[in-house]
Amino acid sequence: MDQDNPIIVALDCDNRATAERTVDRLGDECRFYKVGLELLTVAGPDFVKHLVAQGKEVFLDLKLFEIPHSVAGAVRAAGALGVSMVTVHGMGGTGILAAAVDAARAFPGLRILALTVVTSMTGEDLADIGVGDSVEEQVLRLARLAAKAGCHGVIASPQDAAVLRSTLGTDALIVTPGVTLPGDAPADHARPGTPRAAIAAGASHVVVGRTVTRAADPAAAFRLVRTSLDR
């Protein structure tokens, strides 16, 4: 996986045609895409194969949360598609995380990332499901659990990047959704941040969605995000 390309564009589309049009408009500007549950459901794994065949890297955001056997099977299927990253829900615990890591060993290019706390959640949301700790405490708990299970990194908000980098060390992947340029609406993200702030805090990758995909000129918007990282 090429870590010199830290910008991942989220193809949060409800049909394959729109996703393909976005990829075509971005051209050689973008090499890394996130495919989530909506697009995978509507377009199927053939679209992932299509991206990989074009030389793109794919972050398959499945947030796997199932019995270990099923999680391992899904990870092997993702590896066979040629994806670079797949997500497993940290709240699944050690058994699920370790099963994913073990299944990924057959695919040297595949990285297992543990979802900590989704960027739309707040402390009140955690309390609703019986978690009394703060968001930061929960993020750190799940990150440590993921590291112990052998995961390659975590998914967390830009606001969590600094404490995670100091906790997980220099080698861990820290992938941050909820990233927008200054002045852009944060959509559903309760804990957003800018690309520059996320990388400066220790993120290895930033996931950018509507800022790029809904721009009049996606390629120009992507270049603007990249330029913001270089300043």
SS3 32: strand
**Is-catalytic flag, 56?**
no
Closest CA to 97 of 60, 61, 72: 72
CB 7 within 8 A of CB 225: yes
Q: Which two tokens stand for residue 140?
A: 């750190």
Residue 4 neighbours by CB under 8 Å, 6+ apart: none
CB 161 within 8 A of CB 174: yes
Give the integer Cα–Cα distance in Å for 155 and 119.
9
If one counts every other C-beta atom within 10 angstroms of the C-beta of residue 76, the result is: 15
Which of 34, 56, 63, 148 is catalytic? The answer is 63
CB 130 within 8 A of CB 138: no
Residues forming the active site: 63
